Amino acid sequence: MPPLVYRLDATQPASHRLGVELDLDLDALRAAGSLAGEELLLFLPTWTPGSYLIREYSRQLSRVEASGADGAILPCVKVAKNRFRIATPAGARTVRIRYQVYARELSVRTADVTAEHAYWNHACVLLWPVAARRLAVQLTVQHPPEWRLACALGQLHTPLATPGSVTLMAHDLDEVLDSPILIGDFEQIEWQVAGVTHRIVLDGLGGVRPPETLIADLTRIIERAAAVFGGALPYRDYTFLCLFAAEGHGGLEHAASTTLLMARTALSDAKQYREFLGLAAHEHFHAWNVKRMRPVEFWDYDYENENYSSLLWLVEGWTAYYDDLLCHRAGLLTREDYLAVMAKNVNTMLTGPGRLRLSLAESSFDAWIRLYRPDENTRNSSQNYYGNGAVAALCLDLMIRRTTRGAASLDDVLRRLYDHTFGQGRGYTREDVADAVRSVAGVEVVRAHAALVDGALDPDLAALLGDFGIRVRALENPKPYFGVSFNSGSTTVASVTLDSPADRAGIAPGDECIAVAGLRVDSSNWNDVFAAVARCGVAIEVLLARRGVITRLFVTPGATMPGVAFEILDVATTEQQHLRDLWLVPPTK
């Protein structure tokens, strides 16, 4: 038997409770050097890799008890928010731990056990011995017999298999924490790509039928992703765990699976389906970018504390750049539609003042306290390394292609970084990234790219795209601009954009806008009333309720910052066309 044997009882899912029983082989722990004297120290992770926020999963643990081989209760003391200390009798060879986990939080990174399904990340569930991450583990999961189980972990097949009981094996803590489990009455489709088994599990779709082209579309995305890294798939098999629900949206990457959470109607129309494919492409690309090739700070995760990295603009930004690009390369997004998606990223970037104040590298480092804990000032003080990181990746790709006259691209940098770091059994540093860029495109590109990542993000896209025969056109936008966002369903100010008309007039988060130019406003008529009374450069009266006091201010609306659109020039030089056709798939004639 492996040194850690868990039994997880999910047979009463409507209770939202998982029962956990863990048998620990103390001899194996002693041999691994992870038993201090006769004291056993166990911990529960505080976060899930890929989602950079301390989430304090131990809040949901209860009735933690320990007993010896003879069944006698052993002292078990909570010594930290997520740690328990158990005094084991001298020479004892086994200890049994029992506890319960409350699980009713539906997100890709948490645990949700309900009458409809059971889904969990093991970070929320498994107490694990401190300093023993390399120990092998066996997990037996018991569940309602009419349900099925999906998980990337290998199953132990025994001749006496019973319905409603599945035994899984993992090599170590990293593998088990990276392998969420979904149990339920779901649909599952299995198919092969390049001889490798892929599965998609569809949970909660109700009456919605997936598109006929689902498997063909995913296959094309998978093939294009593999091509970036030389053609081979890096896993033994791969599972898309899809949770369709009334609320929530997102994805979480794993080495051999991903969880995608989206609306129950996400596969029902063309626009939502396109977004689903983009999300699937994003998480699948992470199988290389971050699950294997990853910053040195993530090489051995510390599951109890923040793991700081200044490289999330590469981890997430480059992945966000490739998710749309791979859909385009796979023929699922036309050249024009792809450029429209990129222009949308750029327009979002342009409206965020934080990009000029906190660099992509600094915003990456601060993910734990900014991106994952947004407040009224986040947009003004930092930037989103997903969308803005994708814009920086676009710039880098274009610079590489321009400098090498189309001979190389960001694909070559990724492949080189992958081979030279993960391929050699190590994480990468910023210097490794610079080395990869330098070897592909030279030192000038390294310098220009560093300026985008380490300073204010304000790229000259018109010049860059111009060399590819693409024009950046400013959209005409005559609308007067106020500069606030409201809490949903109200006219209470959620945030004020730095240096906007509202900011200059002294409007603050929490102010409730009651009237504009003497007209009563609420969430249903704000846009209409503001458009009717506001003129650029002309002050208007705004009546506010602020912390219980009625206040009058005068705001002078400005012109909205014009957005941009990307247009393919009909008349381009041969060089421009050459570069463009290597970057974007030309339409078939």
CB of 394 to Zn ion, least distance (A): 17
Do the beta carbons of residue 51 and residue 109 sit within 8 Å? yes
Which is nearer to Zn ion, 10 or 312 (by Cβ)?
312
Please give the Cα distance from 392 to 296 (Å, whole number). Answer: 21
Residue number with CB closer to Zn ion (6 or 385): 385
Taking the CA atoms of residue 283, residue 288, residue 290 and residue 296 in that order, the dihedral angle to the nearest 10 degrees is 180
Nearest residue (CB) to Zn ion, 109 versus 401? 109
> What's the closest the beta carbon of residue 315 comes to Zn ion, in angstroms?
7
Q: How far apart are CA 378 and CA 463, in angstroms?
A: 30
105/316 with CB nearer Zn ion: 316
DSSP H helical ranges for 366-500: 378-381, 387-403, 410-420, 430-441, 443-454, 461-466
Nearer to Zn ion (CB atom), residue 95 or residue 320: 320
CA 574/CA 581 separation, integer angstroms: 10
Residues 6+ away with beta carbon under 8 Å from 421? 293, 427, 428, 432
Task: Enter the tokens of residue 99.
Answer: 């506890």
User: Which residues are at the interface with Zn ion (CB under 5 A)?
Assistant: 316, 319
Least distance to Zn ion, CB of residue 253, Å: 6
In the complex with Zn ion, the residue whose CB is nearer, 86 or 361, is 361
Q: Minimal distance in Å, beta carbon 21 to Zn ion?
A: 35
> Is beta strand 137-142 parallel, antiparallel or unpaired with respect to 4-9?
parallel
The residue (of 125 and 312) whose beta carbon lies closer to Zn ion is 312
Return the number of the residue (319 or 383) whose C-beta is nearest Zn ion: 319
Output the smallest distance, CB 283 to Zn ion, in A: 7
Count of C-beta atoms within a 10 Å radius of residue 125: 26
3-state secondary structure string across 50-91: CECCCCCHHHHEEEEEEECCCCCEECEEEEECCEEEEECCCC
Q: Which helix (H) or strand (E) covers residue 558, if one does?
A: strand 558-559
Min dist. Cβ of residue 295 to Zn ion (A):
14
Shortest reach from residue 129's CB to Zn ion, in Å = 31
Closest CB 252 distance from Zn ion, rounded Å: 8
Q: Which pair of structure tokens corresponds to residue 561?
A: 């910052």
**Contact between 406 and 394 (Cβ < 8 Å):** no
